[in-house]
């Protein structure tokens, strides 16, 4: 086999490969020998068919099989000999091949970059932490208590106010036509809960038991039912009852209602949950700071094909988000060319960070175990009550989707590994500062090869949809 490099430019490599006809003939002979062991032809005992007849019968149809085998073996040998790790599947183009002639073909391949990760012990990071104070704790407990408030019938003739609950019958129409899902009887609606069409609840403030009224509202432009989005609707409403909330007492009785021993135990539970939320947020902030620092300290070349694939994912998501808002690329604040350039830079960052974290994970033998994958699958399955088994089966039978669940777990493991080596200081901040988003956009925070929450959700939704079809 003769291999000559025809291009070495950045991460692109091209090779011309020539496999001698004698080697190809040997491969054909080997296959014919295998076939001959079991071949059956009239006039010959099984396994005793002459090679000349086997060649005449099977020779031409074996050429494709032998060609594929030879190309695969020669390509693997070429990549290994040159210590190349392809970023994508190599592009193969056969230049010439026929029976009795040399095989000549070309290999075009983008290779993974070779780089040395920085010394992570030199990183200086700040972890912002917040503590829940007594005042905020009380606010959270009170807010929780409001979810379990009870109502009593309002006095005769008393008008409904925000916070009250009205029991109503309603019938909705658009352009004089009733629409599906637009009617109900005995519907309980808490005014001010924002659980109905915008504007509907506000127009019921002041109604009394026995009132009949007509409420006119406009469906939001982004309403999930496309045939109703942006349409003006008219609801005939009959008020059956008005109920007012009873005062909520935050005491041991409330705690017992929630399955806890006393008020102190309830506060402890709320505090613990709040601290977990703040810890998760603090970790997310630290991860963002770390990724920024890693991006600043690494500037190696990345494979264009990976960047292009990542960019297409980002751009398609941007277009879909615009569609949901009834907008197009032309409605963006910047010209399309400028926007594309910015998102391509984000794609470069994601790919570079993804390759870096992958390299760190491999060098340090970091892995994702089955228990961790099972927990991730369980989280997805919990979103579809009654279809949990189908969701599990979906991921178990789809290695690519299962890999997408594993990717963010692995990413977090590598991040934690790096943080352990870095110099990390803590600074106490207010809840408001911890919650603040410095730039209002986490679009460039994710990494190539991982899966975002939306993608994971989409995979689970696909599985659920398939289940419903079946």
The fold for domain 2-110 equals: Alpha-Beta Plaits (3.30.70)
Predicted local distance difference test score (pLDDT) of residue 447:
53
Predicted local distance difference test score (pLDDT) of residue 172:
93
Domain spans of the chain, in order of start: 2-110, 150-245, 278-469
DSSP character for 10? T
Predicted local distance difference test score (pLDDT) of residue 51:
80
Give every CB contact of residue 129 below 8 A, 6+ residues apart in sequence. 278, 279, 282, 426, 427, 428, 429, 434
Whole-angstrom Cα distance, residue 457 to residue 452?
9
Cβ–Cβ under 8 Å, residues 421 and 380: no
Residue holding tokens 């026929």?
98
Cβ–Cβ under 8 Å, residues 297 and 353: no
User: What CATH architecture applies to the domain 278-469?
Assistant: Orthogonal Bundle (1.10)
Give me the DSSP letters along 59-84. HHHHHHHHHHHHHHHHHHHHHHHTT-
Question: What is the longest distance spanned by two Cα atoms in the chain?
Answer: 107
* Closest to 314 (Cα-Cα) out of 348, 288, 347, 292: 347
The pTM score is 0.73
Residue holding tokens 């990345």?
302
Whole-angstrom Cα distance, residue 248 to residue 333?
48
* Per-block mean pLDDT, blocks of 10 residues, the chain (470 long): 93 95 88 79 77 78 86 94 93 90 95 95 95 92 89 92 94 91 92 91 94 93 82 94 92 92 95 94 94 95 95 94 85 90 95 96 94 90 82 87 91 96 95 75 42 40 47
Q: Which residues pair with 56 in a beta bridge?
A: none
Residue holding tokens 């006393």?
262
Predicted local distance difference test score (pLDDT) of residue 32:
84
Q: What tokens were used for 15?
A: 């090779």
Cβ–Cβ under 8 Å, residues 173 and 233: yes
Give every CB contact of residue 252 below 8 A, 6+ residues apart in sequence. 262, 263
User: What CATH architecture applies to the domain 150-245?
Assistant: Roll (3.10)
Whole-angstrom Cα distance, residue 290 to residue 130?
19
Residue 216: phi, psi to the nearest 5?
A: -110, 125
């Amino acid at each position: 086999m003769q291999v000559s490099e025809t291009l070495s430019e950045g991460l692109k490599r091209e090779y011309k490969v020539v496999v001698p006809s004698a080697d190809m003939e040997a491969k054909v002979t080997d296959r014919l020998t295998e076939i001959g062991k079991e071949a059956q032809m009239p006039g010959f005992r099984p396994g005793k068919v002459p090679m000349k007849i086997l060649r005449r019968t099977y020779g031409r149809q074996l050429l494709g099989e032998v060609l594929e085998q030879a190309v695969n073996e020669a390509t693997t040998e070429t990549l290994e000999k040159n210590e190349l790790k392809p970023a994508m599947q190599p592009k193969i183009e056969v230049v010439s091949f026929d029976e009795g002639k040399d095989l000549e073909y070309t290999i075009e391949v983008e290779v993974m970059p070779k780089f040395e990760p920085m010394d992570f012990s030199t990183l200086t990071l700040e972890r912002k932490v917040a503590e829940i104070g007594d005042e905020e704790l009380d606010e959270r407990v009170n807010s929780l208590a409001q979810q379990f408030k009870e109502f009593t019938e309002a006095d005769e003739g008393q008008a409904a106010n925000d916070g009250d609950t009205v029991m109503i019958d309603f019938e909705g129409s658009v352009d004089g036509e009733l629409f599906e899902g637009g009617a109900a009887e005995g519907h309980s609606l808490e005014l001010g809960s924002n659980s109905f069409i915008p504007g509907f609840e506000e127009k019921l403030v002041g109604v009394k038991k026995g009132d009949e009224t007509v409420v006119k509202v406009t469906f939001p432009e982004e309403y999930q039912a496309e045939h109703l989005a942006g349409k003006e609707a008219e609801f005939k409403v009959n008020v059956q009852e008005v109920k007012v909330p009873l005062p909520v007492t935050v005491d041991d009785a409330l705690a017992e209602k929630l399955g806890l021993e006393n008020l102190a135990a309830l506060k402890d539970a709320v505090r613990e949950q709040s601290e977990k939320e703040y810890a998760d947020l603090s970790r997310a902030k630290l991860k963002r700071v770390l990724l920024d620092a890693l991006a600043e300290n690494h500037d190696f070349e990345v494979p264009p094909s990976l960047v292009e694939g990542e960019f297409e994912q980002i751009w398609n998501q941007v277009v879909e988000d615009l569609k949901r808002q009834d907008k197009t690329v032309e409605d963006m604040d910047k010209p399309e060319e400028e926007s594309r350039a910015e998102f391509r830079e984000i794609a470069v960052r994601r790919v570079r960070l993804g390759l870096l974290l992958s390299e760190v994970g491999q060098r340090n033998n970091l892995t994702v175990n089955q228990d961790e994958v099972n927990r991730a699958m369980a989280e997805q399955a919990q979103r579809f009550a009654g279809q949990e088994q189908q969701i599990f089966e979906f991921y178990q039978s789809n290695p690519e989707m299962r890999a997408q669940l594993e990717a963010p777990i692995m990413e977090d493991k590598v991040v934690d590994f790096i943080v352990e080596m870095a110099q990390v200081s803590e600074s106490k901040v207010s809840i408001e500062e911890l919650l603040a988003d410095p730039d209002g956009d986490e679009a460039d925070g994710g990494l190539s090869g991982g899966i975002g929450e939306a993608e994971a959700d989409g995979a689970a939704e696909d599985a659920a949809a398939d289940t419903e079809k079946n």
